[in-house]
Amino acid sequence: MTFTALDNRSRLLAGLSDALRERSYAEVTVADIVRQARTSKRTFYEHFADKHDCFVALLTLSNLELRRCIAAAVDPTAPWETQVRQGVGALLELVHAEPHLFLNWFRAVPTLGDEGRTLVREGMATFVELLRTLADTPDLKRAGVEPPTRELGIIVFGGLRELIATALEEGRDPLALTEPASQALSALLAPRA
């Protein structure tokens, strides 16, 4: 995620993102964040209650950016299989650019208790809503593609999340997942006879 604003809050979020390049969320400290942001602990606590609060803000912003980038990458006039590949490609490009952020999103968030579960559900809901919106166009309807049900969207979300996390943990380039992920999503969305 690129931070173009120079305000202290954005610098701190960028600082956390940079710190996550070096360490896992559990290992990152407020001192690491302020060192990366080139600011003070006093400034940090003016914007965030603690490291957890900063992490939640970063992930919330990341989730919005992910949705925006995927939606912008999909051409609603392209054939549906192309649209699937465009959406999957945009997701994997973002993961490729910031693997540290996504791996921490996938692995650390569930450890955050109730708030972590809420973040996972919000991320899942955003993804499912985006998937349904992208599949709900006149061109796709003419091709016989229906928006996936919520349940199918959750399956896609969970499957992609685990596929990506496993690849990152194994040190593989997430871009190598473009073909299998596109094939799986196409199979799930394919027009039914």
Q: Is the pLDDT reported for residue 167 higher than 70? A: yes
Domains, in order of start, for the chain: 51-189 (1.10.357.10)
Cβ contacts of residue 109 below 8 Å, gap of 6+? 59, 116, 119, 120
Place of tokens 């593989």: 172
Contact 174, 164 (CB under 8 A): yes
Euclidean distance between CA atoms 79 and 77, whole angstroms = 7
- Distances in Å between the Cα of 137 and the Cα atoms of 107, 131, 142 are 34, 11, 9
- pLDDT attached to residue 3: 52
Assess contact for 52 and 112: CB atoms under 8 A: yes
- Round to whole Å and give the CA distance between 80 and 131: 12
> Quick check: 184 pLDDT over 60?
yes
Q: Over the stretch 113-157, which tens digit does the pLDDT of each residue have?
A: 888 888 888 888 988 998 898 888 888 888 888 888 999 999 999
Q: What is the pLDDT of residues 48-102, one digit of tens each?
A: 999 999 999 999 999 899 999 999 999 988 988 999 999 999 999 999 999 999 9
Give pLDDT, residue 142.
85
Eight-class DSSP state of 25: T
Count Cα atoms within 13 angstroms, Cβ side, for 43.
Answer: 16
Could you read off the pLDDT of 1-42 as tens digits, one per residue?
Answer: 555 556 999 999 999 999 999 999 999 999 999 999 999 999
Q: Measuring CA to CA, which residue among 39, 64, 44 is closest to residue 54?
A: 44
Provide the pLDDT for residue 42: 96
